[in-house]
Structure 1
Amino acid sequence: MTENLERQGSAVSARWRIVGWIVLTTALALLAVTVTMRSVMSGQVAEAANVGVVQEIEEFRTFAAEGLDPRTARPFTSMEALMERYLARQQPLAGEAIVGVAGGRVLAAQGLADGSGDILAGDAALVDRILRDARTAGVYESAHGTVRWGKAEAVAAGEPATIAPERRAHLLVAQFTGAAQEEANRQAVLLFGVAVGGLALTAGIAWLVARQIMRPIRTVRETAESITAHDLSARIPVQGRDDLARLAETLNAMLDRIEGSHLAQRHFIAEAREHLNEPQRLLAAALRDLVDGDMPGADRARIACGAQQLIARMGQTLADLDVLAQSGNPGFVKPARVPVSEVTADVAAEASTPGAHPGRHFRIEETGRAEAWLDAARIADAVRQLVDNAVAHTSPGDTIGIGSSVADGAASFWVANPGPPLDPERARALLESYRSTEGTDPGMGLGLAVVKAVAEAHRGIAWVESGDGAQTRFGLTVPLDALVPARGADDAFADRIATTLGEES
């Protein structure tokens, strides 16, 4: 099945397919134009021949009806004289034959040097065929090519209409269209040659354009080939503002997400290893000590208490890792409108509970006076992480500050602990998720990663401030209304009803 799927599709490159379709469609269009033009020119040749025949026949009929014999100044009584007089006045064009038949004689008007009149006059069989034809016009294929002909007859003045045919005069007008058709064919061949040249030029341009179009796609393929499981940093160069540029931007954004997910996975594993290896080692050592039967009861109780703390620490680590794993899920936060001061007071009260953090003192530095759409439980967990981080990096007797504020449409929560200021680069590194365990003290990386995850889930940021003062503040800032749920039609209807009832009351 897999082999069959691999063999499906065209083996021809996209560049050749683009050029092939362009050349094919252009060739069909040019062929249609050439055939159409040849047909039009052939039609024009036939139309011109027909017009010439009709015009000569009409002129002869007019002359036969109105013409006068110059010798008598009266209508012609001799058909030979009439025909001679008429033919003497004609100047046939190329391919045109004007022949008169009267009194058993065949006379031809002398025109251009192609001798079409003499050809028709000398072909007795063709003349006889035309005279015997019951039609007044027609088309023959003869030894001289295609002939379009017309004929008219005249009788002398005073002769009855029933006069015998041999006493009548006949004018034969023929158009030999072979030469004109050959010229039309030569023009069609010339047009076809120009079309072939244009097709070759189109193919060349299509080849260059296809190469230009396929270059970004080739770059995408080369970039994809350069990406490995250990290096996801390659990106597609973005040039221009067309569809391919937007495609490159989209693929780069996708690669950013893939790299972010990959790094997050590596970070997740590193955090788990960093925070579980040491407690696991200490717990194993404690268990080895507990199996020693000669250990005094007081030492056994102390080791058991330490083992319980290690287990609790590992449980907290697993809980934090679970928070990080869920932080990308859509339902990670469940916002509700809550007072900022309430969240601050709850965390401060919990931290100040006797026995929670022995030897540390807590005070509320500031309280924000506003309501915000946020997940109070998640925000409280993040601030607890900051409290635990501050406890781990202070000494007994130190005072840790907890506070919140509201400014510029955002709520900020922070924890301040005394101590020397941090180096700006190190302070920045603490909040970079994938550097949180590199070169930092134990316990800092995972807690701050949780804080950052909670802040970003609220469309906010995590931050650290450490300046010339005697304290460092870690916190997070979230918008007040970024997570306002969309109001449904029922809510809007209820508001309108409430407003209406309020106005009526």
Structure 2
Amino acid sequence: MAAERGRPRLARDTIVGWMVLVLFVSLLSVVIVVRESLHVSVTERANADVTQEIEEFRTFTRTGVDPETSRPFTTAERLLTVYLSRQRPGSGEVIVGYVGESGVVTTSYGAGAPDVDEYDLTRDPAVLRAAEQGTSGTLDTPAGEMRWARTVVDVRGGDDAMLLVAVFTGEGTAEADRTVRMLTLVSLGTLLLAGVISWLVAGRILRPVRQVQEAAAEITEHDLTRRITVGDDDVSGLAATFNRMLDRLEEAFRAEQRFVDDAGHELRTPITVIRGHLELMDDDPASREVTMRIVTQELDRMSRIVTDLLALAKADRPDFVRLGEEVDLPALTISLEAKVSALADRSWRLAHVAEGTARLDTQRVTQAVLQLAHNAVQHTADGDAITLSSDVVVDPDLGPALTISVADTGPGVPVAEREHIFERFAHGEPPDGRRHSGAGLGLSIVRAIAEGHGGRVDVGGTPGEGAVFTLVLPTHTPASHDHPEQT
């Protein structure tokens, strides 16, 4: 049992594992994309700041004037001094002005830029070499990555003015990394929470599967009553299907057990009779003839019992009644009258003939009517009247229905016995007190045939004056009873 119960947990682990793996890959992809996006954003912002400063300086050199003379600048040093005094460098930004070959004029630092004691780019030969070789670029410095650009302006009547703009991306990159770390921690927490929730949800979803397994392990041929609690989700449909299967198995087992019990109960008597007579049989021809006649009668009775039991066993199958094409009701009634009139020497009468057609199992209907007629013969004497009739009526429960009645002039059926007589091996108690031979299966077969058509069998008449048995069959059979013709 322990090994079997491990299988649902394995399925649970697989479901949770795949969910966590998919979520992990998704969150990892998000973290990587966010990290790269933030780093690219820092780089683009640094490039934009450098470009903006260079463009502003170029604009200033073209349109700016010396505030003291209100005339264009005449020296590079004055140009750079005035320009730098008006600038407010951005975060991590450093602006340096150079005059010809005389060196640095001034340096302006923005917030987050490295301190001079930490790193002085004006004293870094690599910066000067790079500025001499190009107009922009990226350098790795002791203070981190630096993105720079420079521009040179000719001042009329003086030295050239060079402006170098540098932006250190270390602070922006560090902020981006802090954001990524926070996102990573949140993702890990989400991953853990999702794992716990998926574990619980998977357990709830797989509970019907686990219950099916446990029920299947506990069910035996002696106990088919175990059922599984059905929920309201899709997977619970498995439990509902399993319960329906158990219902069918239980019903099949009960039918089998009932058949065995019925057969053993009813066949025991003729077997005992046959054995007793055979054990007492001697060599006298007359005695042997009597014994063989009794044995033959008992064997015939056993054969009828077995035939009836097989018919009742088939009544639980969906193909017990096989509906064919539309049946002509007048022809069916005439055929039934011809068959029942050959059963015994009675005053057979045909009171009414139904008109129209209906979908019926002709063989089963004939079997039921012959059984009712045989039952009437058993409860009447030679010359007594037995009346057969058929009609099409509107039944309150079934709508348009075919009725086939067999009425006799026998002792009738007491009202208290009318439900009981349709049970297996039931023998009614007629008013005259006479019991008739038979296994008590005939009326059970009649009821099974009627119900197989979606109809019923009614009992009427007045006790002491006769009985009326009526088959009531719908002329349009419900879908649940509509089985295709089988061969």
**TM-score bucket (shorter structure):** 0.7 to 0.9
Give the match for residue 278 of structure 1: 269
**CA gap 1:304/1:10 in 2 versus in 1, 3 angstroms:** closer
Matches within 5 A, 1:162-311: 167-240=159-232, 242-289=233-280, 291-294=281-284, 297=286, 299-311=287-299
CA distance in 1, matches of 2:170, 2:392: 98
Q: In structure 2, what is the equivalent of residue 16 of structure 1?
A: 13
Find the residue that maps to 2:226 and give its secondary structure. Answer: coil
One-letter amino acid matched to 2:295: A
1:318-397 counterparts in 2 under 5 A? 318-324=306-312, 328=317, 330=319, 333=322, 335-353=324-342, 356-357=343-344, 363-364=349-350, 367-391=353-377, 394=379, 396=381
1:75 Cα deviation after fit: 3.0
**CA 1:141 to 1:204, structure 2 compared with 1: closer, same or farther past 3 Å?**
same
Task: Kindly state the Cα deviation for residue 132 of structure 1 after the two structures are TM-superposed.
Answer: 2.6
The verdict on how the C-alpha distance between 1:472 and 1:54 changes in structure 2, with shifts beyond 3 A counting, is: farther
Q: Does the CA-based 8 Å contact 2:228-2:243 persist in structure 1?
A: yes
Alignment-mate amino acid for residue 305 of structure 2? T
1:148 alignment partner in structure 2: 147
Structure 1 residues 375, 301: closer, same or farther in 2, change over 3 A? same
State how far apart, in whole Å, the 1-side matches of 2:334 and 2:111 are. Answer: 119
> Could you tell me how far apart the structure 2 residues matched to 1:343 and 1:263 are?
36
Q: Classify the secondary structure of the residue corresponding to 2:104.
A: strand
**Partner residue, 2:432:** none
Distance 1:273 1:343, change over 3 A: farther
- In the alignment, is the contact (CA less than 8 A) between 2:412 and 2:461 conserved in 1? no
Question: 2:390, 2:404 within 8 Å by CA — same for their partners in 1?
Answer: yes
Are the equivalent residues in 1 in contact too, given 2:46–2:147 (CA < 8 A)?
yes
Q: Pick which of 89-98 and 341-350 moved more.
A: 341-350
Contact 1:326 1:332 in 2 (8 A): no
Amino acid at match of 1:79: A
Q: Report how far residue 456 of structure 1 moved.
A: 4.3
1:216-242: CA deviation from partner (whole Å, max 9, x where unpaired) = 3333334434432122233333343x4
Alignment-derived partner of residue 127 in structure 2: 127
Whole-angstrom CA distance in 1 between matches of 2:247 and 2:347: 44
Does the residue aligned with 1:157 lie in a helix, a strand or coil?
Answer: coil
Q: Paired residue for 1:404?
A: 390
Contact kept in structure 1, 2:92 and 2:111, CA below 8 Å:
no
Q: What code does the residue aligned with 2:459 have?
A: E
Cα distance change on mapping 1:473 and 1:270 into 2, 3 Å: farther
Question: Using a 3 Å threshold, how does the CA distance of structure 1 residues 387 and 288 change in structure 2: closer, same or farther?
Answer: farther
Provide, for residues 356-387 of structure 1, a one-character-per-residue CA deviation record: whole Å limited to 9, x for no partner.
446x6655565433322223222111222233
Say if 1:429 and 1:137 are closer, same or farther in 2 by CA, change over 3 A.
farther
Q: Distance in 2 between matches of 1:283 and 1:41?
A: 102
- Describe the SS at the equivalent of 2:441: helix
Mapped to 1, the partners of 2:374 and 2:102 lie a distance apart of 134
Residues 3-42 of structure 1: pairs in structure 2 closer than 5 A: 12-42=9-39
How far apart, in 2, do the equivalents of 1:120 and 1:404 lie? Answer: 119
Shift of 1:272: 3.0
Any unmatched runs of 5+ in structure 2?
A: 394-398, 429-434
Q: Secondary structure at the match of 1:140?
A: strand
| Structure 1 counterpart of 2:49 | 52
Distance in 2 (CA, whole Å) between partners of 1:232 and 1:152 is 94
Task: State how far apart, in whole Å, the 1-side matches of 2:124 and 2:147 are.
Answer: 17
Q: How high is the TM-score relative to the length of structure 2?
A: 0.81
Provide the C-alpha distance between the structure 1 equivalents of 2:203 and 2:420, rounded to a whole number of angstroms.
45
Report the Cα offset of residue 54 of structure 1. Answer: 0.3
Q: Distance in 2 between matches of 1:223 and 1:10?
A: 15
Q: Secondary structure at the match of 2:210?
A: helix
| Two-structure CA RMSD over aligned residues (Å) | 3.5
Task: Tell me: CA distance 1:47–1:37, structure 2 relative to 1, closer, same or farther (3 Å).
Answer: same
Residues 57 and 40 (structure 1 numbering): CA distance in 2 closer, same or farther, change over 3 Å?
same
- Aligned-partner Cα distance in 2 for 1:306–1:372: 45
- The CA distance in 2 between the partners of 1:439 and 1:190, in whole Å, is 87
Count how many residue pairs are aligned between Structure 1 and Structure 2: 459
Q: 1:472 to 1:264 in 2, by over 3 A?
A: farther
Per the alignment, residue 431 of structure 2 pairs with none
| Structure 1 gap segments, 5+ residues each | 1-5, 160-166, 487-505
Matches of 1:245 and 1:439, distance apart in 2? 47
